[in-house]
Structure 1
Amino acid sequence: MAAAPRILQVCAEIFPLLKTGGLADVAGALPGALVAEGADPRVLLPGFAPILAGLQDAQEVGWLPARGQVPAARLLTGLLPACGGVRAYVIDAPDLYQREGGPYADARQQPWSDNPLRFARLGWAAAELAAGVDPFWSPEVVHAHDWHAGLAPACMRALGVRAGSLYTIHNLAYQGDFDAGVFPSLGLPAVQFQPDGLEFWGRVNFMKAGLYYADRLSTVSPSYAREIQQPEQGMGLDGLLRARAEVLHGVLNGVDPAVWNPATDVLIPARYDGAKLAGKARCKTALQQQLGLTEDAAAPLFCVVSRLTEQKGLHLMLQALPALLARGAQFALLGSGDGWMEQAFRELASAHPASAAVRIGYDEPFAHRLIAGADAIVVPSRFEPCGLTQLYGLAYGTLPVVRRVGGLADTVTNCALENLADGSATGIVFDAFDAGALDAALRRAQALHQRKTDWKAVQRTAMACRHDWQPAARDYLHLYHLITDARR
């Protein structure tokens, strides 16, 4: 077998140092899985405060030159012990990355006006590393993640570097779409602002840059790779994706078992596994006590851990909840998002304090306790590139109730009678994106919960599923080899 190539992972966040969504989980877990397969991965990150704070043994690699109005910056390298000790390159540019608020928006959730320059700096840094700015290491493949790193393949083309590129779509809905007036500031050749390039309906589109210029493309589940080639989920880019279908691959995300494993999880009240589920019952009791819910082992407890958006189908959950609670179920939510939806969930919990609880925000330890203590986790998404919370649910014996779309369809097997009979069922799956279909799925889950023997059998099947990162790492290595072989 050929030697594994040198890989530069380019992303905007990484677990556990900085996380706004599933991208950080991928960025934190994939390098370690690649190392286990014999690869030499490194990561490139913006110098946000938590990332710089987590960088140990930092050394200066050199200065990255200004490009257009993209400012010069100092490039550091060091280790990230919290991320498995992966070697990282970090762009030290305080004016770009050191500010109050989140990595992409201010405290009022307004996107930073200079985001095009902030993330063009990330793309140029990737290209400059591929061009040899570090004399001791350079990548053979630049693996750019999501719109924040979308300019990397375009910058590589502009510099004429020999390294190959892979661009991964984590969510096609977030494209890095900006006014055409920003293009001259990015430092890219004028020829790249056209339909065969970054231009998208008269605007600059970072994601389109990645989709057009990268050698190969991937997304985070096989079903989503097919779905985004159609207008319904293509977000205006389906034509380009169909044109590049031969180099578009679906690689299913994984879950890091060092972080999400109920047998070893120190964040939950009691450890358990598929053979010994008593600990899960203790987690449920502790969760009911913590949230002020009625302590009732027989009441099925449904949870949601999610961004509160229409994409995630949480408005359907709001419609289905009154009937669910009236049937004797309980509900607990952790998440944040659209203001009206946050308020609606708060009001529902206030009206049903003994059976519903809502926490707005994100709390990683509480997410573990919530998933461990709940009986089922609900993911009723309109579209879902992969989804991670249903994978956490499978690992913790918290049966997923999901819509048959994207990665949800790829990872959850419906509790139809034939699947119960052959032992393949792992959750409850529904099709239509409406409150009636979700309500029917919730009623099926409640009916299954009353059949304790069947429920435990499905729990054990779900917990036996393998969704660690090694299969994905092998799939990515195959893509890296395809890229490097084509460039030889």
Structure 2
Amino acid sequence: MKILFAAAECAPFFKTGGLGDVAGALPKELKRQGADIRVVLPYHIQQMPEVYKEQLEDVAQFEVKVGWRKQFCGIKKLVKDAVTYYFIDNLYYFDRPGLYGFDDDGERFAFFSQAIIEMLERIDFIPDVLHVNDYHTAIIPVLLKDKYQWIQAYQSIKTVLTIHNLQFQGIYDQIVLSDLFDIGYNAFHEHGLEYYGNVNFLKGGIFYADLVTTVSPTYAQEIQTPAFGLGLEGVLRENSWKLKGILNGIDYDMLNPETDEWIAAHFSVDHLEGKKANKKALQERVGLPVREDVPLMAMVSRLTEQKGCHLLEEKMNELMQRDIQVLILGTGEAQFEHSFNFFNSVYPEKFKAIIDFDIELAQQIYAGSDLYIMPSAFEPCGLSQLNSLRYGTLPIVHETGGLKDTVQPYNEFTGEGTGFSFYDFNGQVMLETIDRALSVYYDQSKDWTTLVKTAMRQDFSWEKSTREYLDSYEQITEQ
């Protein structure tokens, strides 16, 4: 099966979040399982490491019409881990200091989407399935059935749209139809791009794609409700017949406590001694007292309200009355950066916030902590809790989205579980859940070690999820 995977970011070339992780890991596993998979990305020249720039090979050059504009489009290529990556080159659109957040993002991704379609014949690769991701490429299924439907070679292409985060939908004035795509109003209707008089890229993709997926089964259900649907809940309910939640995985080759080069000591589910050494090294590195007997609870996150930082902020003074150490790594909203810096000065022996983005330290936190706090208001899938489970650090999560799907709450009667969870989204319930985790930790019974080992035995590698994607691809190509 021939698959083209289109995304705006991809690790290890450039990424800002979960989409980049998925784009980096899923195609690699698809290739391993026998698919002819190619990936197409913007050439974010300022973000790509030099080691990859040096490997790029020029494949094609042509012009893409973006409305009335004639824009240069170069196609570059490199092969990594047996996967072929194509990069859409245009300095005007992609030579920027960041990936997103520019006033002309609509135009940038309109160019990108049209360039992807127009490159297919030039690179001699017509996919059976074109898999698009989030609003940046969501209009491609619309364009294939509208602007480019006359091209015979494209008529058998099936499309999959994956929604990684419904927050970002690509809503623009209807003038973009002519100004950016040079198309009329054929797709501007209730079952297409029209959204309260504007154009909504994601909405169009949901209606026109052959399959719509989200990154966890629970999130697929949640976004059909007003609480999580962000204005598209009706659209998603109407298309629920082709909506499917497939849980994200993590790269078990890279995230492996037995081989991780960034952690102080290697360990495994059968040899946990190294976890204590990692805790000691972590406490030393961040300047917390080295105590084996005190539970260390950590968070690696963007510091935002969506991630539940306001719940931690609200209850931190109470939490600091417990015998616990708390470690937070991340950057984000100024309010939380200032608050957590304040707690640094008030509780220097028990609390440490490092306002930074540090991948190496993040790995050491997963390996060296006892508990991992993730009280997100919503979480399409979440990867941090999967990382923490892999390293035997028990997650404390709000029961939403992928967090609910991946963390089995501790059962005090049977001793089963892989972490701790709470349903009501408020600080007091979160604090009570932390207390429940602390009581198990301090009980010194066999339950804690059993939980750690059970957590580490969970399989959230990409292998299982990739089989689900392949099955889904086959179903739509047989229709």
- TM-score, length-normalised on structure 2? 0.94
1:155-206 deviation digits (Å, cap 9, x = unpaired): 2222013211000000111222234444432215222233322221222222
Aligned to 2:39, which of 17, 39, 43?
43
Residue 272 of structure 1 deviates from its aligned partner by 0.6
Structure 1: gaps of 5 or more residues? 105-110
Match of 2:62 in 1: 63
Change (3 A) 1:20 1:393: same
Percent identity at matched positions? Answer: 38
Structure 1: distance between partners of 2:236 and 2:209: 12
- Checking the alignment, whether the CA contact within 8 Å between 2:59 and 2:123 is kept in structure 1 is no
Match of 2:435, as an amino acid? R
Residue 404 of structure 1 deviates from its aligned partner by 1.1
Match of 2:417 in 1: 425
- Checking the alignment, whether the CA contact within 8 Å between 1:11 and 1:149 is kept in structure 2 is yes
Structure 1: distance between partners of 2:337 and 2:184: 44
Match of 2:15 in 1: 19
Residue 390 of structure 1 deviates from its aligned partner by 0.4
For residues 237-248 of structure 1, the aligned pairs below 5 Å read 237-248=232-243
Residue 482 of structure 1 deviates from its aligned partner by 1.4
Aligned to 1:152, which of 140, 147, 151?
140
1:485 aligns with 2:478: yes
For residues 62-211 of structure 1, the aligned pairs below 5 Å read 62-69=61-68, 71-81=70-80, 84-100=81-97, 102-104=98-100, 111-130=101-120, 132-135=121-124, 137-157=125-145, 158-160=147-149, 161-162=154-155, 163-191=157-185, 192-211=187-206
Change (3 A) 1:320 1:396: same
Aligned to 2:4, which of 1, 8, 16?
8
Match of 1:58, as an amino acid? E
- Checking the alignment, whether the CA contact within 8 Å between 1:79 and 1:85 is kept in structure 2 is no
RMSD over equivalenced CA pairs, Å: 1.6
DSSP-derived class of the 1:308 partner: coil
Match of 1:372, as an amino acid? A
For residues 287-326 of structure 1, the aligned pairs below 5 Å read 287-326=282-321
Change (3 A) 1:129 1:216: farther
DSSP-derived class of the 2:244 partner: strand
Match of 1:462, as an amino acid? A
1:465 aligns with 2:461: no
DSSP-derived class of the 1:354 partner: coil
Match of 1:107 in 2: none
Match of 2:138, as an amino acid? G
Structure 1: distance between partners of 2:61 and 2:204: 27
Residue 140 of structure 1 deviates from its aligned partner by 1.3
- Checking the alignment, whether the CA contact within 8 Å between 2:422 and 2:430 is kept in structure 1 is yes
Match of 1:480, as an amino acid? Y
Residue 70 of structure 1 deviates from its aligned partner by 5.9
Change (3 A) 1:90 1:288: same
- Checking the alignment, whether the CA contact within 8 Å between 1:281 and 1:373 is kept in structure 2 is yes
Structure 2: distance between partners of 1:133 and 1:52: 27
DSSP-derived class of the 2:330 partner: strand
Aligned to 1:363, which of 351, 358, 365?
358
Match of 2:467, as an amino acid? R
- Checking the alignment, whether the CA contact within 8 Å between 1:305 and 1:367 is kept in structure 2 is yes
Match of 1:67, as an amino acid? V
Residue 343 of structure 1 deviates from its aligned partner by 1.4
Residue 278 of structure 1 deviates from its aligned partner by 1.1
